[in-house]
Amino acid sequence: MVLTVALIIGTILFGIGLYGALSQTNLVMIMMGVELMLGAVMVNLVAFWRYLHPESYSIQMFVLVVMTVMALEAAVGFAIGTQRFRTKGSIESEESADMKG
Amino acid sequence: MMELQITLLMVIGLIAIWFGWRVFRTNSMVRSAFSLLASMVAIGGMFLVMEAEFLGVLQIMMMGTEMSIMAIFMMMYMMDPGGLGQMDMTHQEKPSIVAAVVTGGLALGVILLTNWGDIVPAAPAPAQQNHDLGMEVMQRSMMIFESAGTSILTAMVAALATALIIHNNNQKEH
Amino acid sequence: MSTALTWTAIIILFAAGVYFVALMERWSFSGRLDWAGPLHAFLRAFGQEEIRTRRYDTVFYEATPIIFIAVVLLAVAILPFAQGTILLDLGTAALFINAALVYIMVSLIMAGWSANGAYGMIGGWRAMAQLIAYSMAVVMAITAAVMRAESMGMLEVVRSQAPLWNIIYQPVGFLLFYFAVMAMAFLPPFDLPVAEGELAGGAWAEFTGARKILFRLGRLLLVLTLALAVTVFFLGGWLGPWLPDFVWTFIKTALVAASFFWVGRWLPRIRHDHLLEWGWKYAVPAALFNIVQVGIQLLL
């Protein structure tokens, strides 16, 4: 029961994040969607650790790695955003048609 | 004890979902960045409820900085003064809603149909957890942690290299 | 002494400490001890007319002063005043204090942005830049102290200093933590976010009346809390001869708080680019050196 509640909350958060990442035009907003998805993943991982395997610390380790990924994603994303803003004056994904092959 | 955990999880989870939803429903960038911060702090609160104290506190600490950085970049790119900023920032709305609902529905089906087995009633004490997590990091998962550190370094260098202004020496001579 | 009596004494001493910090703050820019000054300032701000900017963000504007005070109180809750006299004995207290105090910066950004004024906004973003400069020094100095205690609990951190205080055991860490904490409380050499001279009050520029009082009070509490944190991490907390435990804590805390203002009085204000440069180019290697040094001392 308690595990199900935690997993359902994680699922809803993941859905909201997915909707945001797909529907937003702004690079930073897309990154926010991705962050929300990763947050939902972490909720699930911690729920699995607590309610199924509290003796296994590789799950907590994995959560740490996900947190690292969140920070890295933010850093590289902002770098790309800054460079696009310098060259094009905008970070809207609608206006990056020049990225098409 | 479990009933208390369920109630707290529901309340804090609803807070997380509400603020997560607000992220994509405000017209102001800074408001959405801070909504995301509130959502992430609520997720950290859920970790605390689930007795993962170190992870919860770490999550709350990291997100405070990260979401503020998001807010400042939003300001830089979008020029959003306080109280203003009325614009629509969405595209392909219908397909995204469908994708989100389908993915969420699939996951929900998996959650509800799987037999998760018995719930472990008690978790180790926080101090014991810190010790064991340290041992995990320093022994079995050391290589993983090392590669996480290396990726941080790589990402720092890559981010700087991407964001720097390119001085083209050949053009300067003209 | 019974627990209730100890707590009463601690609360009275804490209130006296806040008053003392207010007194020292006035001394730091006027140069004389104005005993009734904090009271006058309080009454003046209390009777002040509440002026608001046009089109301010209601939720943020009302929430920021409360967030500011709440996070400081959270940080106080995990610091020990005496042997076993602690509000909340967390297993991850050393990390928690840092997590709580990050939200000082968040509150400043919210304050600066919500008021819809240029000076406030610049002050808020400067708070952010300042956090990036000092946070590494704070975290790594705490790490070294935690390494010696072999625990993240505050009581263990103090007990580990019984043979030798951390200020002698790891002087580099102490210096880093001391100055980083001054930057955290945006005290004079590092008062970029609320610079009176150039930003007219910075992040707090548009706040008047009761909200301003909340901010001022929060700042005083913050300074006292950080002085307490320096005491706990590096000056041996309650350790000391003859006097009761908590009296030693408060003597050391008051001395540290006074020294903050004394140091700040003699240093020129630092530019934010210099602060970032020093924070990353010199403080981070020094903090790494400190961790290595403590590691070697522990293994010997």
Q: What is the domain-level CATH number for residue A59?
A: 1.10.287.3510
Q: Kindly state the average pLDDT of the residues C87-92.
A: 83
* Max CA separation in chain A (angstroms): 53
Out of A2, A12, A13, the one facing B119 most closely (by C-beta) is: A2
Q: Is B115 helix (H, G, I), strand (E, B) or coil?
A: coil
Residue C196 predicted with pLDDT over 70: no
Closest CA to C287 of C182, C105, C134: C134
List, in order, residues 6 or more apart from C210 with CB less than 8 Å away.
Answer: C45, C46, C50
Q: Which residue has the higher pLDDT, B172 or C116?
A: C116
Beta bridge partners of B90: A24
Token pair belonging to C17: 């400490």
Q: Kindly state the average pLDDT of the residues A67-95.
A: 82
For every residue of chain A, DSSP letters joined together read: -HHHHHHHHHHHHHHHHHHHHHHB-BHHHHHHHHHHHHHHHHHHHHHHHHHT-TT-THHHHHHHHHHHHHHHHHHHHHHHHHHHHHHHS--BGGG-GGG--
Closest CA to A69 of A29, A42, A30: A42
Provide the domain limits for residue B5. Answer: 1-82
B92 located within any domain: no
Q: How many domains does chain B have?
A: 2
B158 located within any domain: yes
Cα–Cα distance for residue pair B49/B47, rounded to 1 Å? 5
Pairwise CB contact (< 8 Å): A52 & B74: no
Question: In this complex, how many residue pairs, one in chain B and one in chain C, have their CB atoms less than 8 Å apart?
Answer: 76
The model's confidence at residue C226, banded by pLDDT at 50, 70 and 90, is very high
Mean pLDDT of chain C: 84
Cα–Cα distance for residue pair C160/C170, rounded to 1 Å? 13
A42 located within any domain: yes
- Each residue of C142-179: pLDDT tens digit? 999 998 888 888 888 888 888 888 888 888 999 999 99
Domain range list for chain C: 50-299
Q: Does A48 touch chain B (CB under 8 A)?
A: no
A99 located within any domain: no
Cα–Cα distance for residue pair B72/A31, rounded to 1 Å? 14
Residues B70, B134 share a domain: no
Q: Which residue has the higher pLDDT, C119 or C221?
A: C221
Chain A residue numbers with beta carbons less than 8 Å from the beta carbon of B51 are 50
Cα–Cα distance for residue pair C291/C300, rounded to 1 Å? 14
Among the residue ranges B10-14, C10-14, C47-51, C276-280, the one predicted with the least confidence is: C47-51
Residues B129, B78 share a domain: no
Chain B residue numbers with beta carbons less than 8 Å from the beta carbon of A1 are 2, 6, 119
Q: Give percent above pLDDT 90 in chain C.
A: 11
To the nearest whole Å, the CA of B57 is away from the closest chain A CA by: 12
Element containing residue B120 per DSSP (H, E): none
Chain B residue numbers with beta carbons less than 8 Å from the beta carbon of C132 are 65
SS (HEC) of C148-198: HHCCCCHHHHHHCCCCCCHHHHCHHHHHHHHHHHHHHCCCHHHCCCCCHHH
Chain C residue numbers with beta carbons less than 8 Å from the beta carbon of B126 are 90-92
Among the residue ranges B132-141, C1-10, C197-206, the one predicted with the least confidence is: C197-206
**How many degrees, rounded to 5, is the angle at CA C93 between CA B6 and CA A40?**
40
Pairwise CB contact (< 8 Å): A46 & B47: yes
Q: Which pLDDT does position C295 carry in this prediction?
A: 92
Residues B138, B77 share a domain: no
Residue A99 predicted with pLDDT over 80: no
Mutation site for B-interface testing, chosen from A1, A14, A50 by largest number of B Cβ within 10 Å: A50
Chain C residue numbers with beta carbons less than 8 Å from the beta carbon of B34 are 60, 106, 110
With CA atoms as reference, the chain C residue closest to B76 would be: C125
B101 located within any domain: no
Q: Does B64 touch chain C (CB under 8 A)?
A: yes
To the nearest whole Å, the CA of C184 is away from the closest chain B CA by: 14
A97 located within any domain: no
Q: Which pLDDT does position B87 carry in this prediction?
A: 58
A-contacting chains (≥3 CB pairs under 8 Å): B
Residue C1 predicted with pLDDT over 60: no
Residue C58 predicted with pLDDT over 80: no
Out of B37, B61, B72, the one facing C128 most closely (by C-beta) is: B72
Chain B residue numbers with beta carbons less than 8 Å from the beta carbon of C109 are 68, 71-72
Cα–Cα distance for residue pair C198/C58, rounded to 1 Å? 27
Mean pLDDT of chain A: 85
Residues B61, B1 share a domain: yes
Q: Is B90 helix (H, G, I), strand (E, B) or coil?
A: strand
Query: Residue A80 to residues A18, A35, A95, B31, C45: CA-CA distances in angstroms?
Result: 21, 17, 14, 23, 47
Q: Give percent above pLDDT 90 in chain B.
A: 20
Token pair belonging to C76: 């106080």
**Please, is C241 exposed, middle or buried when counting C-beta atoms within 10 Å of its C-beta (0-12, 13-18, 19+)?**
exposed
A101 located within any domain: no
Q: Kindly state the average pLDDT of the residues A56-63.
A: 88
Closest CA to C12 of C260, C215, C247: C247
B152 located within any domain: yes
With CA atoms as reference, the chain B residue closest to A73 would be: B155
Q: How many domains does chain A have?
A: 1
Q: Which pLDDT does position B14 carry in this prediction?
A: 93
To the nearest whole Å, the CA of B11 is away from the closest chain A CA by: 10
Query: Residue C117 to residues A65, B31, C199, C236, C271: CA-CA distances in angstroms?
Result: 40, 16, 11, 44, 22
Q: Is C230 helix (H, G, I), strand (E, B) or coil?
A: helix
Pairwise CB contact (< 8 Å): B16 & A79: no
Q: Which of residues 5-34 of A touch B (CB under 8 A)?
A: 5-9, 11-20, 22-29, 31-33
Residue C249 predicted with pLDDT over 70: yes
Q: Which pLDDT does position C169 carry in this prediction?
A: 87
Mutation site for C-interface testing, chosen from B57, B75, B131, B156 by largest number of C Cβ within 10 Å: B57
Provide the domain limits for residue A81. Answer: 2-88
Q: Which pLDDT does position B82 carry in this prediction?
A: 46
Q: Which pLDDT does position B74 carry in this prediction?
A: 80
Residue C202 predicted with pLDDT over 60: yes
Pairwise CB contact (< 8 Å): B61 & C102: yes
- Each residue of B38-77: pLDDT tens digit? 999 999 999 999 888 899 999 999 888 888 888 888 877 7
